[in-house]
Amino acid sequence: GEDVEQSLFLSVREGDSSVINCTYTDSSSTYLYWYKQEPGAGLQLLTYIFSNMDMKQDQRLTVLLNKKDKHLSLRIADTQTGDSAIYFCAEIGGGYQKVTFGTGTKLQVIP
Amino acid sequence: DAGVIQSPRHEVTEMGQEVTLRCKPISGHNSLFWYRQTMMRGLELLIYFNNNVPIDDSGMPEDRFSAKMPNASFSTLKIQPSEPRDSAVYFCASSPGGTKGSYEQYFGPGTRLTVT
């Protein structure tokens, strides 16, 4: 079945850029997503990219998609302490709405 | 809109008891998902519904788990009998599906279940 992989942990200093990486296996993926989960809360959609795009920018967030390598990344510019959370990569493919989530990357921002 | 509503937010029960988790999706959304999150296994999809019909329940752990969606505005996840290994945070999510084109999911705040 489909598989989405992420590194488990990332630590950055406040003000630096964060880059969170994700690889997936489903070549028929149509949409790829980044969700954020803060402690004690549900997942919140940050941004998404359609598979025919290679980049999407939304304020401090930049999503890069390399469809050939099945690699997705999320860059957070000027990382703030409020960005500390778990970030999930996810993808959807096929005819149904079953989204496959990655394991999540815990981002720690050091003041 | 109030977002996805889940109740209760916290549930502590004894092994063997029946547990019912409730979810109210966002109005107008046509799909509903139940997930379980633990430290060991991460986020797992248990079951999802499209237009109130169960589409894929392959993630339901065993027969002790059952889910229903009697109408577009309400769903339940029941565990009977509960066991300590069922302790987890259970999330409900809803999605507008293809009506907005991107199939994004909106998550509720979760129910933290502790089975002693």
A14-27 confidence digits (pLDDT tens): 999 999 999 998 87
How many CB atoms are located within 10 Å of the residue A55 CB? 9
Quick one: pLDDT at residue B51?
A: 92
Which pLDDT score, from 0 to 100, does residue B61 have? 87
pLDDT level of residue A92 (50, 70, 90 thresholds): confident
Residues A31-59 have pLDDT tens digits of: 899 999 999 899 999 999 988 899 999 99
- The per-residue pLDDT for B100 is 58
Model pLDDT, residue B81: 96
Question: What is the structure's pLDDT at B101?
Answer: 63
Per the CB < 8 Å rule, is A44 touching B93? Answer: no
Q: What is the pLDDT along chain B (116 residues), one digit of tens a residue?
A: 689 999 999 999 999 999 999 999 999 999 999 999 998 888 999 999 999 999 989 999 889 999 999 999 999 999 999 999 999 999 999 998 765 567 889 999 999 999 99
How near does any CA of chain B get to the CA of A17, in Å? 26
How confident is the model at residue B104, as a pLDDT? 87
| SS3 per residue for chain A | CCCEEECCEEEEECCCCEEEEEEECCCCEEEEEEEEECCCCCEEEEEEEECCCCEEEECCEEEEEECCCCEEEEEECCCCHHHCEEEEEEEEECCCCCEEECCCEEEEEEC
* Model pLDDT for residues A70-89, shown as the tens digit of each residue: 999 999 999 999 999 999 99
Spell out which residues of chain A touch residue B31, defining contact as CB-CB under 8 Å: 97
- Asked if B46 reaches chain A (Cβ–Cβ under 8 Å), the answer is no
pLDDT band for position A3 (50/70/90)?
A: confident
Residue of B nearest to A101 (CA): B43
